[in-house]
Amino acid sequence: MKCLVVGGGWVKCGFLGFYRFTVCWEGCLFKQCSTCGVNKLASVEFFEVRTEAHGTLRRQCRICRQKKNIVTSCKWIIAHADKCKMYDRNRYMRNRKNRIRFASLIQDRQRALAHGGKGSYTLIDIQLIKESQNNLCYYCLVPLSEHWSTDHRIPFCRGGSNHPSNIVVACLRCNLAKNRKTEAEFSSKVV
């Protein structure tokens, strides 16, 4: 699209209308922000493109537009505080289990580092282990309820690692009863 200088500081861009401009001594086209009044290079670096107006540049520069969006968002949040609290609470409750599992995973990593254990596992590894055990406790073979935990077959204090091959999913009762025993020691007492 060709721009024709009409005169007097205005430019006509095709059929889209007239826009105010400034030309510097190098011949660059500048545009004035309607909010801050600063002349900036008329490019997508400083002005967003208006898709609804066939690719012309917006009247506000990018910085002023971002500030306006932040202010608008803050005003909406203040006006709809109850909605925001309810949304945050629902999101918190939806992700509660994953957050607890992730915190447990981080604790295990820190303990492994403290004991010199190597390896680490992810939440995906835990899901795969749980599926391979058919949602049953590794030790007592009882179906896992909502409350289950990860257990190290060989504990850190006995030289175990934090690698997925050393991790099993167990019910809380078995995990707490096993404590620092190895898998063989605990299995002999369960039978």
User: Three-state secondary structure along the chain?
Assistant: CCEEEEECCEEEECCCCEEECEECCCCCEEEECCCCCCEEECCCCCEEEEHHHCCEEEEEEHHHHHHHHHHHHHHHHHHCHHHHHHHHHHHHHHCHHHHHHHHHHHHHHHHHHHCCCCCCCCHHHHHHHHHHCCCECCCCCCECCCCEEEEECCCHHHCCCCCHHHEEEEEHHHHHHHCCCCHHHHHHHHC
Bridge partners (DSSP) of residue 5 are 11
Quick one: pLDDT band at residue 86, thresholds 50, 70, 90? very high
Residue 88 lies in a domain: no
Statement: the pTM of the whole predicted model exceeds 0.75:
no
Q: Are residues 57 and 114 in the same domain?
A: no
Q: Are residues 107 and 149 in the same domain?
A: yes
Which CATH number does the domain housing residue 103 bear?
A: 3.30.40.220
Which CATH number does the domain housing residue 59 bear?
A: 3.30.60
| Residue 21 or residue 85, greater confidence | 85
Q: Per-residue pLDDT for 129 more than 90?
A: yes
Residue 83 lies in a domain: no
Residue 164 lies in a domain: yes
Residue 90 lies in a domain: no
Q: Are residues 58 and 110 in the same domain?
A: no
Q: Are residues 112 and 164 in the same domain?
A: yes
Residue 82 lies in a domain: no
Give the end of a domain, one of 14, 48, 66: 66
Residue 143 lies in a domain: yes
| Residue 128 or residue 104, greater confidence | 128
Residue 186 lies in a domain: yes
Q: Per-residue pLDDT for 9 more than 70?
A: no
Quick one: pLDDT band at residue 1, thresholds 50, 70, 90? very low
Place of tokens 């309810």: 86
Domain with 162 in it: 97-190
